[in-house]
Amino acid sequence: MTACFGIACRPGAGHGARGQSARNEACFLSVRPWRGTMSSAYRQLMSEPKVVTRRIPPAYSRGQGTDAGTVDVLLICTAGGHLVQLTSLKRAWHGYSTAWVTDDTADARSLLSDERVYYGFGPAARSGVNFFRNLRLARRLIADLKPRMIVSTGAAMCVPFVWIARTRGIKIFYVESITRIDSPSLTCRLVRPVATRVYVQWPDLAHRVRDSIYVGSVLPGR
């Protein structure tokens, strides 16, 4: 077994036009033999290369100044189910500096109470005004934070961030929502052309999203 995006990946679990070579290249940053529980595999998500990081205090704002410094990973998602799915992977980036972009909601403040958080503009879906607001925020945050990679579970709020990140050569890892069983979301279709890797949580969906990787669910127990 190999660890793909911190989840146990059974032989043959990856799908897409690239075939076996895609499965061999699918693992996040490196491919290493792995044995253990699914939860322990999360820790291998960013196991190499290791970097020296420091604790960064919370910064609740919309990006007006980021004097706390740069980060290794920028985590972007809409509040609610998307946030729950992304926080379930938190062991993967343990020991790395992170910052979050999400909605300013009660559940986000509760789940991310000890994190460095920047609040985007919502609702982001089908709102041209908020798209351009988030686009401006994305340009500012990515320039200031200089993340090495972006990880997102959607939804619409992440779209301007990943396209800006692409122009900076930043790696982008997108995990499609567990609610998408046999057809991709609009966010997935917009992100996939620029994503370094796209992961899906249902095997049927892997056949419908080109070059996507199926490695199971991010939620424990499913």
pLDDT tens-digit series, residues 32-71: 333 333 334 334 444 433 333 333 333 444 444 444 689 9
CA 140 vs. chain centroid, Å, equals: 19
Please tell me the pTM assigned to this model: 0.71
Could you tell me the CA-to-CA distances from 153 to 56, 91, 161 in Å, in that order?
A: 23, 16, 13
Look at residue 92 in the predicted model and tell me its pLDDT: 85
H/E segment holding residue 198: strand 197-200
Look at residue 115 in the predicted model and tell me its pLDDT: 93
User: What is the average per-residue pLDDT within 119-125?
Assistant: 87
**144: confidence class by pLDDT, cuts 50, 70, 90:** very high
Look at residue 94 in the predicted model and tell me its pLDDT: 86
Q: What's the CATH code, domain 2-214? A: 3.40.50.2000
Query: Lowest-pLDDT range, 44-58, 110-124, 152-166?
Result: 44-58
User: Over the chain, what is the mean pLDDT?
Assistant: 75
**221: confidence class by pLDDT, cuts 50, 70, 90:** low
Look at residue 212 in the predicted model and tell me its pLDDT: 92
User: Bigger pLDDT: 112 or 5?
Assistant: 112
CA atoms within 13 A on the CB side of 216: 21
- Tell me, letter by letter, the H, E, C secondary structure of 108-174: HHHHCCCCCEEECCCCCCCCHHHHHHHHHHHHHHHHHHCCCEEEEEECCCHHHHHHHHHHCCCEEEE
Look at residue 110 in the predicted model and tell me its pLDDT: 93
Which residue, chain included where needed, has tokens 């960064």? 56
